[in-house]
Chains A and B, each alone.
Chain A
Amino acid sequence: MSETRSVAVVGGGLWGRALASAAARTGCDVLLISRRTEDPPPKVRAATAIAEAARARLVLLAVPSAHATSVAAELGPHLDGGHFLVHGVRGLIGDDLRTISEAVRDEMPVRRLGALGGPVLATELADGSPSMMVVGSRYREVREVVIDAFGSNALRVYPTADLIGLEWASALTGCMAIAIGYALGAGLGPGLVAAFTTRAVHEAARVAYAAGGEHATLLDLAGLGDLLAAAGQRDRPEIVLGRCLAEGKSLDEARTAAGERTEAVALLPKLRDWTHAKKVAAPILSTIASSMLEGRPRDRLIHDLMVTPILS
């Protein structure tokens, strides 16, 4: 393992390249592990062998959630207890909704794990526009190393010890963004959209709390911030998908319109079942999940949400 400020980023997608750029900008020695080695971001070295990642103490995992476990399994044998592993993966795994850090932990000896989240967008991160993100880890060392590697005048990094809350926030934002897209597509006025957004954040906080997170985490950058960022992107896949559903398109049509794979679609029904089993009130998640699966008419869905009992 080399000196302090070396970073390996595993995953050559938009998000991985953006993280690599941001770390290179602060003067870190950055290695990008990717299937393609041509045209790496400035001051970033590219490699294809995953074993190379072990040379850095801080390893970032930036792959789609569907590949997180398998990539972690490939990476695991090369790492030891001295590595810090931080992921920037949005999602929850399996029917029991394990967080990415829990799933990754089973595949490797690393204990000092963390996650990234918050309203930072890959494009803004890549070109160095001022933005803010959150690092979550129970280990203070991990939070410090990430702040040191990424923090700059252009990127503020807020630490939290609530790793579970942060991971659930990121996953729930994807689902709630569909609801916001739906509200926009249904032509609701700004008052009602704001109301649904606010209630969506509260609902996400309740769900994350039941999963072991702190609800304050959801009301901050990792939850509210992330959701507002999503709502502000008209072409974001989840927003597009929600809007298409509101316009009466089928789930398949909506998916096609959204373009990329939206992992939240698979997650929503699982979340609905999970909140049901845990007896957590989650009217927005359940209504959106049902409408996706059963193709409920738009007016019916708004009606359902308007008559949901108000919890005191």
Chain B
Amino acid sequence: MRDNAPIFSFNEARKDIVREVVQRVAERIDDPLSVLSDAIYNEVRRHTASKSGGDALARWRSLARCVPTMSRDELSGEVTKLAEEHAWDVAGNFDPRVYSLATKLMPPVLGALIAPLTTVTSIRRLVDAAALADRITVEGHIARVRKLTQLGTVVYVPTHLSNMDSIVFGYALDRAGLPPATYGAGKNLFTNPVLSFFMHNLGAYKVDRRLRHGLYKEVLKTYSCVLIERGYHSLFFPGGTRSRSGGVERRLKLGLAGTGTQAFARTAIEGSPQLVFFVPATISYLVTLEAETLIEDFLQDAGKHRYIIEDDESSRIEKVASFVSKLLKRDGGVIVRFGEPLDPFGNQVDDQGNSFDNRGHKVDPTSYVRDRNGEIRVDADRDAQYTRELGEAVCKSFLRNTVILATHLVAAAMMNRLRAAIGTSDIFTLLRVRQRETVSLRDLEHDAATLRDALIVMEKRGEIVVGEGIRHASGTAIVDEALRAWSGTHTTPVIESQNGELSVGDAPLLFYYQNRLAGHGVALDVLVPKREPSSRGVPS
């Protein structure tokens, strides 16, 4: 029974979880002075820069004055106190009543977001769920994932495009008959007037990206690790932030999701390993709510990117409202697809939770956490490497499970036409084309159908997924679908149509939508991940 999932009794366990987190963090610290100094340094700097943290700044400065005269015990006490504050701040809330409403009635609830002050009781009156049930398609390895939720902790690692993702994904889990997952959401989402209601009540825990000091990061990691050990299915967006380009993530650090490896090793040491299964997933939108803001940020000069965007479309009520109503009018506007589950070491997993290597040989996952003497150990250096390799496996899964919809396909076909016409693949030239270049509607329809056929060939090789809406459609229908989806969603139309001639209305958005295909070799690709910077320059 999925209602047995530990998250349903999270609020009772919360105190105990926080206690365990604080205890573990405190045990691991052997130099409280340096930990405290690091926190003071970072916090004083942050509050000085923000100019708004008067009280907090005073508190940190007074602590800084006391530190030199503190005994070791006093320092440890101070660190523990700080860890406890952070742990409570991180710990979320789970309200089963809100969960039940929000998931079973998610589309109308999204609709109800038009009035953000709507209470739970008034949401109930807006319910007319049946007609909307098919708007979000959930597909992929659902049956296997369902079995795995009974055998261990499932860690979902989906692609990330929109602030709607966590809600959409939560709804997809419910639709798939899967228990809810807890997730770490940026603290800014808790202040977003539209989303905060859900964030506060659906088991999200707060991740404050402004806090840069080591102790906070340790608390976060430990919190996430403890939840996974205790069987709380978890959702992480491993890309860290929403994809600015519209492209599928091609390099992942996994961040907090990486604590799944440590959670497995820790429980294995105690003799009862909690199996951990990573489930890569893709979330595909016919149109993305925040596309305009995101692509604009992507195209900023390097160094000017904003890590946290607080004032985008997802915080403007009327934008969300019209977006949602648009989304709900069409089938297949949102597709959540579950990829093949993986163990923490990147191996495939079967329905019984067994791990298999690339050649199909069964392998014992605990063997990976044994050291040179055969002892099961937690080893941060080793686990970081496993996590890095897992990130590569997740990226490959993202590519294989990318679902291509009409907007992606038509944008790619249009961009390919423009590249051929202008004779360049330089993105900055292409972004300036605007109205100058036109493409005949018939040509684009033809190209769209041809590209779709090419994608179907790739799909047979397991390299991509073709959305059902375009699989059997004519070129005319595909282009029509894309133009209708864009129309009214964005400030300016992505492609303008006049007397059978098409021109680019919004080049950055065209770029944004075609980027969904950038990693597959059939569209303009300026998103190739740069390699990690070397310690020195490249030799000449």
Contacts and interface: CB of A to CB of B under 8 A. Distances in A.
B347 A109 contact: yes
A150 interface: no
Contacts of B388: 138
Contact of A57 (B368, B372, B382): B372
Interface string A202-225: 100110010010111000000000
Contacts of B361: 76-77, 109
A1 B370 CA distance: 11
Contacts of A205: 539
B376 to A, nearest CB: 10
Given A73-B359, A141-B382, 16 more contacts: A3-B373, A77-B359, A81-B345, A81-B368, A84-B372, A106-B359, A107-B359, A109-B361, A109-B367, A139-B381, A212-B531, A215-B536, A215-B538, A216-B534, A216-B536, A311-B540
Interface in B349-403: 357-359, 361, 363-365, 367-368, 370-374, 379, 381-382, 385-386, 388-389
Given A145-B372, A212-B531, A81 B385 contact: no
A82 B359 contact: no
A108 interface: yes
Determine the interface band of chain A, counting residues with CB < 8 A from chain B. 35 or more
Nearest to B384: A138
Contact of A209 (B358, B368, B539): B539
B536 A138 contact: no
Interface of B: 345-347, 357-359, 361, 363-365, 367-368, 370-374, 379, 381-382, 385-386, 388-389, 531, 534-536, 538-540
Q: What 9 A-B pairs have minimum CB-CB distances, sorted nearest first?
A: A81-B368, A81-B367, A109-B357, A82-B367, A109-B363, A80-B367, A311-B540, A82-B370, A205-B539
Nearest to B356: A109
A300 interface: no
A81 B363 contact: yes
A137 to B, nearest CB: 9
A256 interface: no
A245 to B, nearest CB: 27
A202 B381 contact: no
A98 interface: no
A140 interface: yes
B382 A216 contact: no
A3 to B, nearest CB: 7
A84 B382 CA distance: 12
Contacts of B364: 80-81
A212 B538 CA distance: 12
A111 interface: yes
B358 A107 contact: yes
Interface in A217-264: none
Contacts of A153: none
A73 B346 CA distance: 18
A140 B358 contact: no
A111 B371 contact: no
A114 B50 CA distance: 47
A169 to B, nearest CB: 13
A70 interface: no
Contacts of B357: 76, 108-109
Nearest to A205: B539
Interface in A122-142: 138-141
Nearest to A107: B359
23 contacts: A1-B374, A3-B373, A76-B359, A80-B364, A80-B367, A81-B345, A81-B368, A81-B370, A82-B367, A106-B358, A106-B359, A107-B359, A109-B357, A111-B386, A140-B381, A141-B381, A206-B539, A206-B540, A209-B534, A209-B538, A215-B539, A216-B536, A312-B540
Contact of B368 (A77, A111, A312): A111
Interface in A281-304: none
Contacts of A37: none
A4 interface: yes
Contacts of B373: 3-4
A112 B386 CA distance: 9
Contacts of B365: 81
A73 B361 CA distance: 11
Nearest to A280: B538
B335 to A, nearest CB: 31
A106 B373 CA distance: 25
B277 to A, nearest CB: 16
Contacts of A215: 534, 536, 538-539
Contacts of A140: 381-382
Nearest to B537: A215
B369 to A, nearest CB: 8
A4 B375 CA distance: 11
Contacts of B385: 111, 138-139
A205 B374 CA distance: 38
A57 B374 CA distance: 9
A82 B374 CA distance: 7
Contacts of B389: 111
B540 A141 contact: no
A138 B381 CA distance: 9
B521 to A, nearest CB: 13
A106 B371 CA distance: 22
Contact of B371 (A58, A141, A202): A141
B182 to A, nearest CB: 28
A211 to B, nearest CB: 10
A152 B536 CA distance: 32
Given A81-B363, A107-B359, A216-B536, A141 B345 contact: no
A106 B359 CA distance: 7
Contacts of B347: 109
Please indicate which of the listed interface residues B357, B388, B536, B538 has the most CB atoms of chain A within 10 Å of its own CB. B357
A104 to B, nearest CB: 11
Nearest to A311: B540
Contact of A216 (B367, B370, B535, B540): B535
Contacts of A139: 381-382, 385
Nearest to B357: A109
B525 to A, nearest CB: 14
Contacts of B371: 141
B536 A206 contact: no
Contacts of A4: 372-373
Interface in A184-210: 202, 205-206, 209
Contacts of B382: 112, 139-141
Interface string A51-91: 00000011000000000000001001100111010000000
A144 B347 CA distance: 25
B359 A141 contact: no
A251 to B, nearest CB: 30
B535 A80 contact: no
A106 B361 CA distance: 12
Please indicate which of the listed interface residues A202, A209, A312 has the most CB atoms of chain B within 10 Å of its own CB. A209
A138 B389 CA distance: 11
A214 B357 CA distance: 29
Nearest to B374: A1
Nearest to B347: A109
Contact of A80 (B346, B363, B386): B363
Contacts of B379: 141
A264 B539 CA distance: 23
